[in-house]
Structure 1
């Protein structure tokens, strides 16, 4: 029986005592909880001209708890929670740190870096990024020839953290996409080892089996600790994970 049932058909209370049965039309707490859980999963109707992959992506975004959490807490993207988890585990960003964010769009990592007390934050992305607090944002392709020098000019001094959430646009060809991703990771690592202050940290997104052995060996030679990590906020079905290199030994050991 629903709430639009005529009032005269609903059970009445017996005078001076308890009701003669549960009121229909009013849901109990467990029933409300069940309804709320059911409502968490939403389906997106396939619009004319919309690809199935787009429909599935939209559904995944709508139903992702970290997407909702980011919206509630005012973060630009769910990726903010990945950096928060990595920082909690590895203590990456300290008060007064100078931080570089490679591939900073839409700005979630910039927000977290400032929130953690970074004194100076410089980001770069080929996509336009709206201003984020005091962060300096360069609208450039990091893989461009002028990008490294442009970043250095904005830093002022050697940074304490270089973090990269760079991801190559996929072509659908597995081997090609893998090579493009490896190239981005290697370029980010080279930049980090060129600019980091001694004791600094490097964090980068990697895919599949992690970084290539050659790069891993080089990082292990130049950093005190090198680890792979997959934050809980990273989707379980995603091949992404993060490579964290701690305690840069400085250029002398190269």
Structure 2
């Protein structure tokens, strides 16, 4: 039985059943409605808010990098909570301007991206955020591996730009990151945790890894 107030969407002539289900889910998602009311560009903003409520990585951050910026919800959260922070974001997709955010429209995986981000940041980062995910191909193992590769690239970047004591937050799939990746994070950070915030849909396979207390150049 559908809950009271549930909105149904009729299948339009040019709309597939899949897109109709997606639209119906959007219309009935409380986080989507809340995002519109609060002025956030996406429901993903609440994932970051909920993760920060649990781990407190935003406190005191002065320089923040947002990898996989589009549509901009995470950077909006950072700027609202840290109005004087320097925020640099990157995405392959175009992103409408956000006050106080330096936006690069570029593939993070290109050779030029890390240097451009570092130059725009103007100093060591306090926090590196990555909500990057590969386009899905419908094969769970392949999708997880491709997103894991993005998380690993984001972590490598974080190792280069974070100040000692900084934090790294990244999306991973399939219940968490792989063993080698977590082992490397634990070698470089004081604490490493996995979390699935309430704003992540129940059916989603996304999780987030939160690494805090960057140790700087960890010995081999």
Max radius of gyration: which structure? 1
1:152-231 correspondence runs (5 A): 152-231=118-197
Larger proportion of strand: 2
RMSD: 1.2
Q: 2:48 aligns with which of 83, 91, 96?
A: 83
Q: 1:133 aligns with which of 91, 94, 99?
A: 99
Which residue does 2:67 correspond to in 1? 102
Which residue does 1:124 correspond to in 2? 90
Asked if 1:50 is matched to 2:15, the reply is yes
Distance, in Å, in 1 between the alignment partners of 2:38 and 2:142 is 37
Q: 2:25 aligns with which of 60, 80, 85?
A: 60
- 2:176 touches 2:207 (CA, 8 Å); kept in 1? yes
Distance, in Å, in 2 between the alignment partners of 1:160 and 1:181 is 23
Distance, in Å, in 1 between the alignment partners of 2:142 and 2:60 is 40
Distance, in Å, in 2 between the alignment partners of 1:95 and 1:68 is 30
CA offsets, 1:178-237, max 9 Å, x none?
A: 221111111111111111110000000111131010000000010000000111111111
Give the deviation of 1:47 after TM superposition.
1.0
Distance, in Å, in 1 between the alignment partners of 2:57 and 2:142 is 32
Q: Where do 4+ consecutive residues of structure 1 move more than 2 Å?
A: 173-176
Give the deviation of 1:96 after TM superposition.
5.2
Structure 1's unaligned 5+ residue stretches are 1-36
Of structures 1 and 2, the one with the larger relative CO (CA 8 A, separation 6+) is 2
Distance, in Å, in 1 between the alignment partners of 2:61 and 2:164 is 16
Give the deviation of 1:173 after TM superposition.
2.5
How many corresponding residue pairs?
217
Structure 2's unaligned 5+ residue stretches are none
- 1:158 touches 1:197 (CA, 8 Å); kept in 2? yes
Which residue does 1:115 correspond to in 2? 80
Give the deviation of 1:176 after TM superposition.
2.3
Distance, in Å, in 1 between the alignment partners of 2:154 and 2:60 is 23
Give the deviation of 1:149 after TM superposition.
0.8
Give the deviation of 1:175 after TM superposition.
2.9
Secondary structure of the corresponding residue to residue 143 of structure 1: coil
Distance, in Å, in 2 between the alignment partners of 1:106 and 1:63 is 20
TM-score (norm 2): 0.95
